[in-house]
């Protein structure tokens, strides 16, 4: 299926969208990749949804990516007596390891690592920042705090520590079990939550061992201190604005989003913008004007993909949410201002010959008014180089690897076809012309710019460029 836009759409599956019929409708509406959120649901639920995705993929003949989003080390308050307690501004409140249900004077925080990382004067944000506590005094198993922002505290609310570098890896025991299941099921991407340091990515890559690509979710301020190293080690990054907006002043998030997109694009890594993009569509059939502007901003910034979460997982209008995002992205990309931004901000090619060939393909396509660029790839590296260039024409990717085709579903402007490797230049040109015609990208007499590596089938060996006319 050929899209009328280059920015990709990720849809999260859940109770509102787990049936094959709904998944097919979401894909037809514009979803290019589906997210399985392991913070919710059982393994059996996720497996059923993945199998449904593969059935839709088989029916439409287009590679569809699947992402397993791991929960990560989410810190939570323990149980609270009754239906919760009200914390007044200025009151003293104690967090400790006793494990007893909380009340109006104290609450359990069953995470020893938190007390090891806390310092006096640090803030604790509870329930997505709705409550704020200031640490006044510390012991090995407790923290005496002052309530800065009051409100009602109930069971199991999340806790954020924006000023602390927690002695935690990015994967808990639950995450490791979920990872093993996801890899056995055959997911294409693993999204790693609450990344703090490059070592978190390195450890995930060791465990994954090439069986899936790794996406680093940037939602902790600590990650920003080594962000370039994290981007270098990851296969893609996600600007996860939910927790990021809790742990940082909200006014800092827009500029940070733009900076992360620029850094990822410069590195040639796909970048996803996520969280609350069309939040009101969980309960309403149309979005707010501010939400539409938010989606448009991410597209104007050059994000590879935009993601829907609760809108499609649990909302009342999952297909409509994808349709809105599809229309907004297509409209932005049709704006001459968008093309001017892409032309001004695409990264300079690097030293390898593959980069030079890919950059040249973009220039040649513009010079000769080619209808599309066609690239042959085995590992996907050549295709990602093409995406980094943000060319003004579609990029058709032919690959003998179905795994590669699925992984590339997240990358800007790439339309992937699972195809046998070419046997020679003549066969390469013929396959490219047929694929472009079959996808409705080109018609008879149109020109294509084709890049490939010789000998064929050698990963990362792009070294040739051809111009072809569709017969």
Three-class SS state of 389: coil
Active-site choice (205, 217, 407, 431): 217
Helices (H) and strands (E) in the chain, counts: 17, 22
Distance CA 153, CA 90 (A): 15
CB 16 within 8 A of CB 282: no
How many domains in the chain?
3
The pLDDT value recorded for residue 456 is: 65
pLDDT in tens, 394-446: 999 999 999 999 999 999 999 999 988 777 888 888 999 999 999 999 999 99
Give the mean pLDDT of 437-464. Answer: 83
pLDDT in tens, 66-101: 999 999 988 999 999 998 999 999 999 999 999 899
pLDDT at 127 over 60: yes
Same domain, 391 and 456: yes
Tokens of 272: 């996803």
pLDDT at 351 over 60: no
Same domain, 326 and 357: no
Please name the residue ranges forming H helices in 118-226. 173-185, 198-208, 221-224
Domain-located, residue 340: no
Residue 134 belongs to a domain with what CATH number? Answer: 2.40.33.10
The pLDDT value recorded for residue 349 is: 60
Cis peptide preceding 389, ω within 30 of 0:
no
Domain-located, residue 339: no
Half-sphere exposure of 130 (CA within 13 A, CB side): 10
Query: Which residue would you say has higher pLDDT here, 459 or 145?
Result: 145
End position of a domain, from candidates 94, 128, 160: 160
Residue 384 belongs to a domain with what CATH number? Answer: 3.40.1380.20
Distance CA 368, CA 389 (A): 17
CB 8 within 8 A of CB 304: yes
What is the 8-class DSSP label of residue 346?
A: P
Report the run of H or E that residue 34 belongs to, with start and end: strand 33-37
Pairing mode, if any, of strands 8-13 and 33-37? parallel
CA Rg, the chain, in Å?
24
Phi, psi torsion values for 36, nearest 5 degrees: -105, 115
Distance CA 234, CA 227 (A): 10
pLDDT at 136 over 90: yes
The pLDDT value recorded for residue 292 is: 98
Tokens of 348: 């300079």
Give the mean pLDDT of 292-302. Answer: 97
Q: Which of 35-44, 316-325, 435-444, 462-471 has the lowest mean pLDDT?
A: 462-471
Query: Which residue would you say has higher pLDDT here, 99 or 306?
Result: 306
Please name the residue ranges forming H helices in 37-108. 43-60
Same domain, 136 and 34: no
The pLDDT value recorded for residue 463 is: 77
Give the mean pLDDT of 326-340. Answer: 96
Same domain, 317 and 270: yes
Tell me the pLDDT band of 469, cut-offs 50, 70 and 90: very high
Distance CA 231, CA 263 (A): 8
pLDDT at 464 over 90: no
Distance CA 52, CA 193 (A): 25
Domain-located, residue 341: no
Tell how far CA 33 is from the center of its chain.
Answer: 10
Report the percentage of the chain scoring pLDDT > 90: 79
Active-site choice (3, 54, 76, 152): 76
* Residue 217 annotated to the active site: yes
Same domain, 174 and 210: yes
Nearest to 447 by CA among 379, 325, 365: 365
Distance CA 456, CA 54 (A): 28
Pairing mode, if any, of strands 142-149 and 151-153? unpaired
The secondary structure of 41-108 as a DSSP string is S-HHHHHHHHHHHHHHHHHHTS--EEEEE-----EE---BSTT-EEEPTT-EEEEESS-PPB-SSEEE
Same domain, 83 and 62: no
pLDDT at 144 over 60: yes
Active-site choice (5, 7, 8, 35): 35
- In DSSP terms, 240 is beta-bridged to 274
Distance CA 436, CA 447 (A): 10
Beta carbons within 8 Å of 167's beta carbon, 6+ residues apart: 113, 116, 117
* Domain that includes residue 111, residue range: 75-160
Same domain, 357 and 465: yes
The pLDDT value recorded for residue 457 is: 60
End position of a domain, from candidates 307, 333, 359: 333
Phi, psi torsion values for 317, nearest 5 degrees: -140, 60
pLDDT in tens, 15-24: 999 999 999 9
Tell me the pLDDT band of 350, cut-offs 50, 70 and 90: low
Same domain, 48 and 127: no
Distance CA 359, CA 349 (A): 6
Report the run of H or E that residue 113 belongs to, with start and end: helix 112-117
Distance CA 233, CA 204 (A): 10
How far does the chain reach from its first CA to its final CA, in angstroms? Answer: 22
Angle between helices 353-367 and 381-388 (to 10 degrees): 50
Q: What is the mean pLDDT of the chain?
A: 93
Same domain, 42 and 138: no
* Residue 153, CA distances (Å) to 196, 242, 243, 302 in order: 27, 20, 19, 40
Give the mean pLDDT of 247-253. Answer: 91
Active-site choice (22, 275, 371, 377): 275
Kindly report whether the global pTM for this prediction surpasses the value 0.75: yes
pLDDT at 462 over 80: no
End position of a domain, from candidates 99, 127, 160: 160
* Residue 76 annotated to the active site: yes
* Residue 8 annotated to the active site: no
* Residue 35 annotated to the active site: yes
pLDDT in tens, 353-409: 677 888 888 999 999 999 999 999 999 998 999 999 999 999 999 999 999 999 999
Three-class SS state of 222: helix
């Amino acid at each position: 299926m050929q899209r009328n836009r280059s920015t990709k759409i990720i849809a999260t599956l859940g109770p509102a969208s787990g049936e094959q019929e709904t998944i097919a409708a979401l894909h037809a509406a514009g979803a290019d990749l589906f997210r399985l959120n392991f913070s919710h649901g059982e393994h059996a639920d996720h497996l059923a949804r993945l199998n449904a995705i593969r059935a839709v993929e088989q029916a439409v003949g287009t590679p569809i990516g699947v992402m397993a989003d791991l929960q990560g080390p989410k810190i939570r308050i323990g149980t609270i007596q009754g239906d919760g307690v009200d914390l007044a501004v200025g009151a003293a409140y104690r967090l400790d390891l006793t494990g007893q249900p909380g009340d109006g004077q104290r609450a359990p925080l069953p995470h020893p690592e938190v007390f090891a990382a806390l310092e006096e004067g640090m803030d604790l944000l509870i329930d997505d920042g709705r409550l704020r506590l200031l640490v006044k005094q510390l012991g090995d198993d407790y923290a005496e705090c002052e309530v800065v922002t009051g409100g009602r505290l109930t069971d199991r609310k999340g806790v954020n520590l924006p000023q602390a570098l927690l002695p935690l890896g990015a994967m808990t025991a639950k995450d490791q079990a979920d990872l093993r299941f996801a890899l056995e099921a055959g997911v294409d991407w693993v999204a790693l939550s609450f990344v703090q340091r490059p070592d978190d990515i390195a450890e995930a890559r060791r465990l994954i061992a090439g069986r899936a690509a790794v996406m680093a979710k940037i939602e902790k301020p600590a990650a920003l201190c080594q962000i370039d190293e994290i981007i270098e080690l990851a296969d893609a990054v996600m600007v996860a604005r939910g927790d990021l907006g809790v742990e940082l002043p909200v006014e800092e998030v827009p500029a940070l989003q733009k900076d992360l997109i620029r850094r990822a694009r410069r590195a040639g890594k796909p970048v996803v913008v996520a969280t609350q993009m069309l939040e009101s569509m969980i309960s309403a059939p149309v979005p707010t004007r501010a939400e539409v502007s938010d989606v448009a901003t991410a597209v104007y910034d050059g994000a590879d993909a935009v993601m829907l979460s609760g809108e499609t997982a649990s909302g009342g209008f999952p297909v409509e949410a994808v349709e809105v995002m599809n229309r907004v992205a297509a409209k932005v990309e049709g704006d001459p201002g968008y093309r001017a931004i892409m032309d001004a901000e695409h990264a300079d090619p690097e030293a390898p010959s593959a980069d030079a060939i890919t950059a040249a393909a973009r220039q040649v396509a513009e010079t000769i008014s080619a209808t599309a660029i066609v690239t042959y790839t085995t590992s996907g590296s050549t295709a990602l180089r093409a995406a980094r260039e943000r060319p003004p024409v579609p990029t058709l990717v032919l690959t003998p690897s179905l795994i590669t085709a699925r992984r590339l579903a997240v990358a800007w402007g790439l339309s992937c076809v699972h195809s046998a490797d070419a046997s020679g230049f003549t066969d390469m040109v013929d396959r490219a012309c047929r694929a472009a015609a079959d996808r409705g990208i080109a018609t008879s007499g149109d020109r294509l710019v084709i890049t490939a590596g010789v000998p064929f089938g050698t990963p990362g060996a792009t070294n040739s460029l051809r111009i072809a006319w569709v017969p």
